[in-house]
Amino acid sequence: MATPATPEQAVAALWRSLSHDAGQPGDEAALRAILHPDAMVYGARYSNGAAALSVARGADFAAGIGRVDEKGFHECEVAREVRQYDRFATVYSVVESRNDRSAPKANFTGVNSIQLFRADDGWRIIGLYYQVERPGQPIPLQGGKAGACLEG
C-alpha cells in the first residue's frame, strides 16, 4: 500500500481503515501503513458525566481495529480543515459514526485533531486526538452537512 501523497489522502485513508461491516474487523494493515511507528492516539469522552481520556500507542490502537467487531462501524467525515507547512500538517476533522452505513442518523459525532509528518515516502499520522460529542453540546459541523461524507 502506497503512503498517501497529501494530508487529505492520509485522513481519508484513516476513516476508511476504521470502517467495517458487522462481524468484520477494520483494516489493520491499511491503518498501520498510514501511522508513523511512534504515533500516539488520545481519546476523550464523558462517562457518567466525568471526563475520561484514553491514551494508546498507534500500534496498539491498530491491533484493536484488527479485531472482529459484532457491530458495524462506519466513519463519515463531514468537515475537514487542513493547515500545512513543509513537512508539518494538522487536520481538524468532524466525523459522524454509524453502526449501519445507511442509517439516516449518526450514532455519535466526534471531533478529531490529526497531526501528520511528511516522510520521504509520503504523509504519516503521528498523532490522533479525538473527542466524542458531549450530550447536550453538539459539535458544529463547520459548514458540513450531516450524512454528506467528504471524498478522499
pLDDT, tens only, 121-143: 999 999 999 999 998 899 999 89
Q: What is the DSSP string of 106-130?
A: -SEEEEEEEEEEEETTEEEEEEEEE
SS3 category, 4: coil
- Give me the percent of the chain exceeding a pLDDT of 90: 88
Residue pointed to by grid coordinates 467495517? 20
Q: What does the pLDDT look like over 7-53, one tens digit per residue? A: 999 999 999 999 999 999 999 999 999 999 999 999 999 888 899 99
* Best CA proximity match to 72, nearest among 13, 31, 132, 23: 23
- According to CATH, the topology of domain 7-132 is Nuclear Transport Factor 2; Chain: A, (3.10.450)
Q: Which amino acid is at 2?
A: A
Model pTM score:
0.94
pLDDT at 54: 96
Question: What percentage of the chain reaches a pLDDT higher than 70?
Answer: 99
Strands 122-132 and 35-47: parallel
User: How is the beta sheet containing 122-132 ordered, strand by strand?
Assistant: 50-57, 35-47, 122-132, 108-119, 88-98, 74-85
